[in-house]
Every structure is written in structure tokens, then in C-alpha cells.
Amino acid sequence: MPMVPHRLSTVFAVGTLAGLFGLTAACSSGGDNTAACTSMQKSIQDLSTTSMSQVSDPTAMAKTYHDQAAEIRTTANGASGDVKSAGLRVAEAMDGLGTFVEGLASSTSTTPQMPDNTPLITAGTALQKACT
């Protein structure tokens, strides 16, 4: 039976959410980009809330990351310019974190593991800039 220590999931959630908080800036772009920024911001906030309730269930958390990445990808594809490209990078980074969490679900390690949040933080910073 795979062992998924609570502290492992907690360390992951806290590290990931630190990257997400940088993404939730107020969006004030023009036209479809404004709606896209608002929608992506809501998706990120929903992810923060949902993933915190899943710290002991990495399978559910991975699905949440992948689902929100798909939602953000769809929204980003309806935007243009920097908002679109930054949104797509955020979605890609979220998918990467989802894949990392999937690995935790089958891990037998008792050593806390920390994902590389750099892609998410970088993409989030670009999205924040594009949306303001």
C-alpha cells in the first residue's frame, strides 16, 4: 500500500499555494482579455481553496490541478497577446504540478518532497503583468 505522509502533502500544498498567491492580482486588461483575466483569477482562487482540502488525498489533488489547468487553458485560448501566452504557461505549470502530485500518490517515500514551483511563479508573474 503506498504511503503518502500528511506532511508530504502539506509541504507540497503550502509551497504551491505560495506560487499561486502571486497570480491573483486584479485584472484590468481590455476586451476579451479582461474577462479572461477575471476567469483565470477565479480558477486560481478555486484551486487554492480546493487543494487545501485535499492535502491528504494526492490523487484528488492531482485531478484538481489538471482540471483547473484545462479550464485556464480554455480561457487563455479565448484571450489574445500576453494574456493568452501567460495563461497558457500557467496552465502548463499547473499540469506539471498535477503530474508531480500523481507521483506522490504511488510513492512509498516518507521523505517530504517539494515540487519545483518556478514555472508556476514565473508564469503567474507574467499573467499578473499581462492582466494589469
Residue 106 lies in a domain: yes
What does the pLDDT read at residue 21? 45
Residue 25 lies in a domain: no
Residue 1 lies in a domain: no
Domain that holds residue 48: 32-130
The residue-averaged pLDDT of 53-58 equals 80
**Residue with cell string 499573467:** 127
Q: Give, in order, the Cα–Cα distances in Å from 115 to each of 13, 19, 102.
A: 10, 11, 12
Residue 18 lies in a domain: no
Residue 65 lies in a domain: yes
* Domain count for the chain: 1
Q: Give, in order, the Cα–Cα distances in Å from 105 to each of 84, 86, 115, 129.
A: 32, 29, 14, 34
Which range, 56-60, 78-82, 119-123, has the best average confidence (pLDDT)?
78-82
